[in-house]
Amino acid sequence: MFKHMVKLLRGHASPSSCTTPRLFIAPAIFALLSVLLPLSGAAESLDARTIVKRAHDAAGGDTWRHARSLILKGEASFFRNGRRDTRADADSYRMWRILPGYSEDAHSANGMVRFDARRGNAVLFNISFDGENSYDQNGRIDDDAASERWKSNFGFGIIRFALGNGFDLRRMADDSVDGHACFFVQVTDPKARTTLFAIDRESYAIRMVGFDTPQGFHHRVYDNFQRREGLSFTQPRSVRLYYDGLKTADIRWLEFEVNPVIDPTIFILGASEPD
């Protein structure tokens, strides 16, 4: 019956080709539309705050929003200036992060963070922030240079605080990310910095973040979301980084730990090396 209904709607069948009496076709079509249209209308009526709240819940609720620390381990490929011939593969890529309890500026360094990229025994790069100073594999970085560098790295975490006072949330035009239909929400923090998020219309997973940086417009695409049994925390295993549309990194996170104890000296490069 349903195939005949579709053919009739498209004009590929005559009423006589359907064994179901015409009397019942119209009510069936209206019944189908009465289910689909309210669902579409409900999604269209959602405001930005509701969408962000649902994204919080999908990410893990309070455990995710109030996480204190995070360790990620995996591998990555890097493309300087987005060029294929500059590809550098790290068979060990690790991040240590002590998360801030609150933030009002999406694109300033906060908490503590360290990234290590290695291929075998060779260091591709190290970069860290100990809460006050920044470092790379060559030593401490000048504060001005570090500030510009971190503006290109910090951005995603602000959505954890976006329901707080002083934040403005605005629903933007919907679009898709990697074929997944998404709500797009712009978050403006109390420092007037704007960050764009794409939130999956079905799962409410955060699939993209984008913002302006000194290096151009930066966006990251997230996929392959994972939860560990007994832990209310969603971690994307795939993260791709772009600047002005050119891919500069493809990260595959293979392991994650939530709220581990991290020695703060790890963030001072040269002071303490992790295992």
- Is the domain of 9 the same as that of 71? no
Domain with residue 107: its CATH number is: 2.50.20.10
- Is the domain of 199 the same as that of 87? yes
Please report the pLDDT score of residue 259 as a whole number. 97
Q: Please, how many CA atoms are within 13 Å of residue 234, restricted to the half-sphere of its CB?
A: 18
Residue 275 inside a domain? The answer is no
Residue 193 inside a domain? The answer is yes
Please report the pLDDT score of residue 34 as a whole number. 52
pLDDT tens profile 211-252: 999 889 999 999 999 998 899 999 999 999 999 999 999 999
Please report the pLDDT score of residue 275 as a whole number. 65
Residue 274 inside a domain? The answer is no
- Is the domain of 7 the same as that of 140? no
- Is the domain of 54 the same as that of 25? no
Query: pTM for this one?
Result: 0.82
Q: Final residue of a domain: which of 26, 45, 64? A: 45
Please report the pLDDT score of residue 41 as a whole number. 64
Residue 273 inside a domain? The answer is no
Q: CA-to-CA distance for 169 and 196, rounded, in angstroms?
A: 10
Please report the pLDDT score of residue 44 as a whole number. 80
- Is the domain of 53 the same as that of 102? yes
- Is the domain of 22 the same as that of 66? no
When divided into structural domains, the chain yields a total of 2
Please report the pLDDT score of residue 13 as a whole number. 45
Domain carrying residue 192: 48-267
Residue 58 inside a domain? The answer is yes
Residues of the chain where predicted confidence (pLDDT) is lower than 50: 1-25, 35-39
Please report the pLDDT score of residue 23 as a whole number. 42
Residue 253 inside a domain? The answer is yes
- Is the domain of 211 the same as that of 239? yes
Please report the pLDDT score of residue 151 as a whole number. 67
- Is the domain of 30 the same as that of 124? no
Residue 272 inside a domain? The answer is no
- Is the domain of 40 the same as that of 146? no
- Is the domain of 100 the same as that of 215? yes
- Is the domain of 31 the same as that of 112? no
- Is the domain of 139 the same as that of 236? yes
Contact 118, 91 (CB under 8 A): yes
